[in-house]
Structure formats: C-alpha cells, structure tokens
Structure 1
Amino acid sequence: MHSTQSSSPIEGGYCLLSQATLTNVLGALIDRAISYRAARVFFACCSMRSIREAAARCQIRKHQKIQFRFDEIRQRVGTQSEKLIRADLKQLERSGLLSFTQDAIEVVTVPINFTQSFDLGRSMRRLIPVPRRILEYLAQCPSPSVLRGIIVYVLRGLTLRQGIVYACGSVKSSWVAQIAHISLRAAKSVRAHLIEIGWLTKDTGSTQRKLNATGAFFRINTQWRRSSSTTKQPRAVDNSTTSDSQSAPLIAKLGSKSAPPIQDLKTSTNSKDQKSSKSLPGVYQQTQKISPPILHNIQANDLYHFHRLELLYWQAIAAKWLIHSEASTLNWICAAVRAREVVKRSGGNAVKVFVTIVRRKLWNTITGTQEDYARKSLVRFRETCPQLFRHRSESDRRISV
C-alpha cells in the first residue's frame, strides 16, 4: 500500500494557489494567449508575492511597506531586458491572469474561459500548496513541456486538508499529455526528467494491473532543493528539441531494419513502377502532370510522401482540424504511419484510418515504436529540407512538390 500523507512539511514554505489559477495559466498557454516566457514571469510574480506575504507576517517587518521591483523579476526569470518583462506583464494583464504594480500583485482566482476546458473532478476553488522552490524553478523552467507537465503534476498530487499537506497520487502519462496538450512521448520524458532531478519519486511497487487502471504512483518530494544539475535541458522533453542528449537517436543507424516510411524526398517524376491510385493496368507517363493533394480527397499514395503529407497538413491547419505546433506535426506524421501499418497488417482503407485518427484526435492509439519511427524520419528529412512542416510562403510549398 502506498502512503498518501507527506512525511514532513514543505521545506522552504509554499504558496497557496487555487486550482482555477493554475488551469488559467495552462489554458492561456494552450490558446497562445500568453507566451512561454510570460508564464515564467507569472510564476516569478507568485513567488515574490508569497515571500512578501510571509515577511508581512513577521513581527520585524510587519509595518514595513511592500515593494515589487522589475529587477527582481528579471533575476528570477533570468533575462537582462526590463522591456521584455514589461511586455510579458502587459500580456498577463490582457489575458486576465495577473495585475502588477509596485505596491501589489493581484492573481485571478476564478476560472477564465479559454478554448481548453479542464474537468479534473475537483473544485476550482481548491487551494493547492505549491512549494516556493518549485515556483522559482518554474520561473527558469528549461522547456515549455516541463512547465506544463509540472503544472499537471501539481494539480494532480498536491492538496491541503486540515493543515496536512498531501503530496502524492497516481496518473497515466496519456492523461498528462491530454491535459497539458503535449505528445505522449513528451509527457513520458517530462516524468523521467522530474524523477532525474529528484522532484518526483519513481514507482517501483505497482503491479501491471494497477498501472493499466490508474497509472504510475508518484510522490512529490516536499524537501526538494534545486541543484546545479536541474538547470540542464531535459532529455527529449520538447518535440522540437534536437540536441544530442535525447533519449532516442536523431538519425536511424544502418542495419537490418525496415525501410523508412517515405522513400523519396520529393515526388518522383519517373514513370517506372508508378501505378495509378485505382490499381489499373499501365503506368504514369513521364509527361503527365502530378496534381497537388487535396484535403477532402486524400489518396492512399499521399501518405507515402513527406511533401504531399506536408501540403495536406497545412490544408488541415487552414481547415482548423489542428493547431500548428511541433506536437501537431509529429501527431500528423504518426497518424500516417499508423494508418499504413494497420492496413498492411489487417487490410482496409488507409485514408479512412488516417482521417479518423486525426479528426477524432485518437493519438493514444499510436504506439511508441510508431512515434519513434515518425520522429526519426522527420529529423532525417529536415537535414536536407529544414523548413519541412514549418512556416513557409505558399510559393515555397508549391516548389517542394
């Protein structure tokens, strides 16, 4: 049996934030109402406010006037530009999350209507004891995925009942990915990073049946202290990260492995072995013009070529099937890999499988092997075409076909 009570009080103190406050920040990040740096500024302000409130309770500084300075925010966030800090504070004020003056910092404690709704099964007025040390860490968080993941784990595991801090729970990585709007691979990497820095404990006693039902057990270390190693970038946390410290190799090594998912960088203009989509006798003529793909008339051949898949992706973004991001790009490619493998294994219509996964956002059906396969392929093709699945002009996209 796992014990649910924290063994000791939170070292360094904590800041009471409502569940609505944390979900507001998460919703603003998902809707891009605030930037990643603005979210860090928000947690820096929460940390400053908590320290000032603790100092006000002290008899020595009870009557001392409280002042909030921009240079203190800069030190906590780790930037040298006061202009950027002021811009982030205005962004937070426009989104309704926070108001900043030199005399007071006011944090909104009621839910704000963003596109993403959060049904966590608990009251939005529930107060969560967020450790001050984790607020300071969030102010200099190494990546957006880690920041979102920590918010979800705080919402899931920390609570205050009758003066007792409870700092543990059970959660699936798929649930973290769904709430934080990150890929499943990123959610697993966030958990591994938090275990590596010692903020989360690793689940070693749960059975597979329990893991399938409620996910892995975790305990938040209330005595956690930030060390020099926590400033390093997490391994493979962000979908856009391409450093050598990733858990998966960037380029597939040569060996007796299956062929890459897409054979050519560009659609071939040769007539050899190119059958029609209806499997009719004969081949394409070399002089025949290859028409661009159409979102509402996807052909099975489109799922086998990166550049045609990219054109369909931008059409899906314009049709509001997805919101453009590295996570959406990876999910789009994974859906194509998944559809092709399902059809190859059990037959059926690859296009229908692909569209169903994308429109219903059934990302949990994609296996880790398929995601690794798609990620390696995307990195390999970006070596020769760095702008693949990134913002380009319409003319550049036509040339790539």
Structure 2
Amino acid sequence: MHTDVNWTDTPITAELLRGALELEHTEDGVLPHRLPAWARAQGDDGQLAMAESQPSGVRLVFRTRATAVELVTRPTKRDYVGVPPRPDGVYDLVVDGQLAGRASVAGGNTLTIDMVAGSAEFRPGPPGTLRFTGLSGDPKDVEIWLPHNETTELLALRTDAPVEPAPDRGRRVWLHHGSSISHGSDAASPTTTWPALAASLGGVDLVNLGMGGSALLDPFTARTLRDTPADLISVKIGINLVNADVMRLRAFRPAVHGFLDTIREGHPTTPLLVVSPLLCPIHEDTPGPSVPDFSGLDAGQLRFRAAGDPAERASGKLTLNVIREELARIVAQRAAEDPQLHHLDGRELYGEGDFAELPLPDELHPDAAAHRRIGERFAKLVFAEDGVFTEG
C-alpha cells in the first residue's frame, strides 16, 4: 500500500496536538481527551464520557515540507436505532490557515444506541487511514482537525518529509465551554462548528470545552477551566440545565456564582464572557426535561419536545427566559467589582428571525447553516472593534 511513497512515521505527542487537555495512551495509539482524568473520574456519566472524548476543536498541528500526509485512526461511530445512519465524521485539512482538503475514515468501532429501550451496544472495529496528497513542497503549517462528533483514537502519522511542532504564532488562546451547540451538534465539519468559525475569524487559538448534554455547572468543569491557560474565556450557560432538568432557581443562582468564582481563582483578570441561551422555542417558557419525540422515527426523523409544565415556573423550575434574566442580573451584580466580566444575550447570536429562516431541525440543535451564522455573529459582536475580546 505504501510502496509508492517513502513514508516517515512521527510519534503523536502532546507537542503536535492543540485543543486537547490530555492524551490517554492506549494499546495501539493515543486518545485525546477534553477533560483531564481527575475530572472524568468525578463525572461518572456515560453522556459526559462520550462527549468529552469526541475531539471538537482538537487538531494535529505541525510544520513540514511534506507533499503527502497519512493519518491512521480508529473512530467510534454512533448509530441510533430507527434513525438513518449518521455520515462518517469529517477531518479538515488546513494549510497555512486555508482549508485544503476534507476526508473521512470508514470502519472503526460502533456504538448502537436504542433511545426507546435506553440501551447501547458497543462493537469494536478496525482502524482506517486517510490520505492527503498533492501538497506544496514548501515549508508550511499543517493542521488536521479531527471530527467534532466521533471519538477518535490516533494510531499513526505518516508523511513523505519530516515534521516538527509548529512554532508559536503569538495568537491568543480562547477557552470556551458550552453545550452540544458549542460542541458542534449538526455542523458540517470540525472547522465549521460555530466556535471554530468564530476563532478563525477572530484570529485566536481555540480550546473548545463544549460538551454535548454536559454544560451543567459541574464543579470539576469549573476547576478545569480555572487550571487551563487562556487569554480569553467564555461560558455559555442554560440549555442543558433546562433539558436535563437538574436544578431549580434556588440552586441555580449560587451555582453560577460558584462556577464563576472558581474560574476567577485561576484567571482573576482575564476577559470572561457569560453567554445566555440561544433561542429555543420549546423551552423559552416551558421547563424541561427535553424528551425524544419518536413519532417521526418511521420517517427517520428524531425530534425533541419539552415535557415540563409552564405552571411549574412558580415552584422554581427553570426555563430559558428565567435563566437569561438571572444571568444578566448576576453578571451586572458581579461586574461592579469585576470590570472584565461581560454578558451576551444568546438571542443576539440566534433569535426569532433566525429561527424563522433557519429553524432547529430537531427543535434543539442548529444545522450547518445556522452554525455558520452563529459563528459569524459571535466574531462580529465579540472579536471585532469594540467587542469584549477585541485585542487591545
């Protein structure tokens, strides 16, 4: 298979990876994680384990003269019973800041999820190889962005010229935490999730701690944010608290304060942006939990609905409007003594007009076009002139 190219094998080490907080050494290679082992041990939850191991924002970055690059991986793909098969995860090749190719890896492990029965079955599978060819022989910075929605074990990196870690280009590091929308949900590729797009437009290096279903104000997540080096930090709070129905207003208020207090222990003066939820009509005034709507499964469509009762707001159940009001109040209160703390109403990123034009296909998650719009809006509001992340 490789007789036509004189390949150089390069060990995959932390020096070649950006966006991952830890590398787990496996029997065959390495597995990037977006939470450290101590945090994973405190969050013993299957959804969190799956989300943090999916390498949203994680990329191999190196400098080379290579004209051909091979990457051997073992992905873990998700299949949902009754729903059309998900497409293979996408790897984006970026050369000197420009998208230069896309590829996928077939095969790998499979996790089959039955949402009706509430069960999952794991089947191991073989690795696969992707190859990018026809690159310039000039020295260049190469990035391979891993699929944002597939756990990806990295087994081998091969090139037809030596590689070295890319030099520090002096870009600011943006650390972001949020829900499945920040994770990437239904974006088309890893460089087109809204945080990746915003980072590209803002000229910053992204560390994306968006975790599908897991933006729950967990203390171990706050401590991870506290301990991760960053020049800019944002936290998007709200939707998972409603659709998981994990707390009431009485617990929410001190939990937000505690989350922000912990971040400030490690980043006392770093610009810190609190983003409230995007528009999600099913939960604007109706509490959670969100539950699957299986009525469309015969047509291969899974949607979600709000199972709460609007009257339950009187007993402290959370809705998105309640959360937005509280976040605005909390940030205003704290900003009196913390001038680097800022607030952004998520409806400025995706609001009623956007929902009318680009509705949420499953009632919860933006599609690829909406991700692009959200990323562009965030860059314009936050990174552009007079934005809170404007470089001084």
Q: TM-score, normalised on structure 1?
A: 0.27
Structure with the larger RCO, 1 or 2 (CA within 8 Å, 6+ apart): 2
The structure whose Rg is larger is 1
Higher strand share: 2
Higher helix share: 1
